[in-house]
Amino acid sequence: KNQVEQSPQSLIILEGKNCTLQCNYTVSPFSNLRWYKQDTGRGPVSLTIMTFSENTKSNGRYTATLDADTKQSSLHITASQLSDSASYICVVRGYGGATNKLIFGTGTLLAVQP
């Protein structure tokens, strides 16, 4: 069964600190993986997309990594800000089958405190 699991479920950090969120998936064959940020009361917004051949990709203070062999991805947030408080969702798309079918993780809820 195609699944996406994220850890930790929730995380509290102090402003200015770094953190890393994890995503493990069993989706196969694999097409790509996206990290979304979902602010409270808003829809998810894409942070980055990674394909099979990519190991790391940055978007400002966000850096995503992908290990397609172990089926693991991480999202590293550097020098956290209060505005980083949100849910971060890992989304994996398989290759083939229904196009645009996405498998969503349950998200990691990040709280950045002053």
Partner 1 sequence: EAQVTQNPRYLITVTGKKLTVTCSQNMNHEYMSWYRQDPGLGLRQIYYSMNVEVTDKGDVPEGYKVSRKEKRNFPLILESPSPNQTSLYFCASAPSGSSSYNEQFFGPGTRLTVL
Q: How many CB atoms lie within 10 A of CB 41?
A: 5
Choose one: 10-18, 19-27, 38-46, 64-72; the region binding partner 1 (CB under 8 A).
38-46
State the nearest-atom distance from the C-beta of 31 to partner 1, in Å.
Answer: 5
Q: How far is the CB of 79 from partner 1 (least distance, A)?
A: 26
Minimum gap (Å) between residue 10 Cβ and partner 1: 12
**Residue 8: cis peptide before it, omega within 30 degrees of 0:** yes
In angstroms, the CA 60 to CA 71 distance is 24
CA–CA distance, 91 with 105 (Å, rounded to integer): 6
Binding site for partner 1 (CB under 8 A): 4, 31-32, 34, 41-46, 49, 51, 89, 93, 95, 98-107
